[in-house]
Amino acid sequence: MERWPWPSGGAWLLVAARALLQLLRADLRLGRPLLAALALLAALDWLCQRLLPPPAALAVLAAAGWIALSRLARPPRLPVATRAVLITGCDSGFGKETAKKLDAMGFTVLATVLELDGPGALELRACCSPRLRLLQLDLTKPADISRALEFTKAHTTSTGLWGLVNNAGHNNVVADVELSPVATFRSCMEVNFFGALELTKGLLPLLRRSRGRIVTVGSPAGDMPYPCLAAYGTSKAAMALLMDTFSCELLPWGVKVSIIQPGCFKTESVQNVGQWEQRKQLLLASLPRELLQAYGEDYIEHLHGQFLHSLRLALPDLSPVVDAITDALLAAQPRRRYYPGRGLGLMYFIHYYLPEGLRRRFLQTFFINHCLPRALRPGQPGSTPAQDAALDPDPNPNPGSSPMTAQ
């Protein structure tokens, strides 16, 4: 059987030269991903030289290099020109930093805040150009949303509206579902879902006309069952599904939709320990007496402490999220999902591919690990002898031993 001849040495040199040219033209950022890719390519080169003939080794190495470059090279971006973007929730955190960066890039930024005289609004006025316009917006008030729609139309008559960044978010409780008042679920849905839905629908005529972008800041809590974040997570899950629906329905109009799923970052709301303490006290005061007795005040204190401890791992640099939002607005082919933050790849791998028990244990280890409710502790009123036997490792404890509490 006749075999195809290997290309000549000159042909392989041409392949290598083209790969080198692509490397020089690629928009690459020097960082850990690029250094890791270069290290892997060096290891692959060492293996190929020992296991393959030179032509095959060069072909494998060139293919691997091309794949690595295509993954690491920043995709081509559209020019900023006179594009206008509306960003919600610019009082602090991701919204404020995104507004500052886009303004510096030359965008016309319409930034909404809860308070026009608040610290975030004052900072934006001080450090941004006259192109940036501030607007007071409470997403729970239809009148505010109607005013924001008219404001946006009036300030984009010459430029059109290129992008909407749904960044405003709300969460005011960290507790089990049974301990969380139904009102907290409603308040999260009002801001994180219904308010964003009404604003997005109102701006769709402008976005369809410009064939623009919708970028929504979501949360991994909307993809996986984070302990004690049910009110927040369900609202973010609803928003993610809505954006996926918009992505399909708006495809014929040329409108591209992206969702940013950030990890834990040190925004102002995350660092405000006093605010979380106040919310915990309000939760304790609102609980029915029977429910508080069943779980115990120490149970809620334990959840609160675990939550605050998890926030110590939050990343101080918000630029990965800001960069993801910017890429979603300007990339010629933006991603449907962005995952800025440390460890998210591992987290999603565990969530999608490992057994449920391991998934639950992982979230408990790195976020909140419940202790045992008071009513389920051995020897407490309401616990049954069968529960006591199952929970107590020593069926005949010493008279002076204390009840065992799961940590």
Instruction: Give catalytic residues, as residue numbers.
Output: 232
Q: How far apart are CA 402 and CA 404, in angstroms?
A: 6
C-alpha 34 chain-centroid distance = 23
C-alpha 120 chain-centroid distance = 21
Q: How far apart are CA 233 and CA 237, in angstroms?
A: 6
Residue at 26: amino acid letter: A
> Edge to edge, what strands does the sheet with 84-87 contain?
133-136, 108-113, 84-87, 163-166, 213-217, 256-260, 337-338
Q: How far apart are CA 24 and CA 45, in angstroms?
A: 20
Q: How far apart are CA 123 and CA 97, in angstroms?
A: 11
Which segments of 91-195 does DSSP mark as H helices, in order?
A: 93-105, 119-127, 142-155, 182-189
How many residues are there in the chain?
407
Spell out where 170-297 has E strands. 213-217, 256-260
- H or E segment and range at residue 278: helix 273-286
**With contact defined as beta carbons under 8 Å apart, do 268 and 92 qualify?**
yes
Of residues 321, 312, 275, 263, the one with CA closest to residue 96: 321
